[in-house]
Chain A
């Protein structure tokens, strides 16, 4: 059965404390992987698409990487405005979303 698992479920960091979020998957025929950011009361906002193992993409303090079994979202020197839920989703014949990681950055 296709599965997408995100860890940790929740993470609290001090401002400036770098860390990584994990998205592991067991999916056959993977075509790619999305990362989204979701703020409370809003819809998910697209961040990145990764297509192949070894690929990396960056946006401001965020860097997403992809291996054959998992993806990481690295957050460098985060700020309170980076607080949100981060969702990953794998792409095959359909999109399968993970349950997300709730990130809280303390000032």
Chain B
């Protein structure tokens, strides 16, 4: 009953450092998503992957890259972290992109950039 698993849960970075946020789902979903959640801003889409081998930009992609490693795993990379990237990051999945199934979310990664 794992669903969507994100690692790490917490991370502190110095400005300019890089890191990769990991996400894995065990529901055989085709589509996966990365969101960030900031106070007063709601959830905003960073990147998504409609299916294995494809990725597309969302609303706020600048400063991020993604890799859909296989059907299960979708990682988010910050190449040179900035304080503006301090946020809570959520990975989500659903059976098909564009289909109206409710997304399953992970428990989030709380990232602080100092």
A contacts, CB < 8 Å to B: 31-32, 34, 36, 41-47, 49, 51, 87, 89, 91, 93-95, 97-100
Sample of 18 A–B contacts (CB below 8 Å): A32-B100, A34-B103, A36-B102, A41-B107, A41-B108, A43-B92, A43-B107, A45-B105, A46-B103, A46-B104, A49-B101, A49-B102, A89-B43, A91-B100, A94-B58, A94-B59, A95-B103, A99-B42
CA–CA, A97 and B44, complex, Å: 8
CA–CA, A31 and B97, complex, Å: 13
* A43 touches which of B58, B101, B105 (Cβ 8 Å): B105
Q: Known contacts being A43-B90, A43-B106, A43-B108, is A94 close to B100, with CB within 8 Å?
A: no
- B75-114 vs A, CB cutoff 8 Å, 1 = contact: the mask equals 0000000000000001010000010111111111000000
CA–CA, A91 and B94, complex, Å: 14
B92, chain A: closest CB distance, angstroms: 8
Q: Are the CB atoms of B100 and A49 closer together than 8 Å? A: yes
* B100 touches which of A43, A45, A51 (Cβ 8 Å): A51
Residues of chain B contacted by A49 (CB below 8 angstroms): 100-102
Q: Are the CB atoms of B102 and A34 closer together than 8 Å? A: yes
Q: Are the CB atoms of A97 and B43 closer together than 8 Å? A: yes
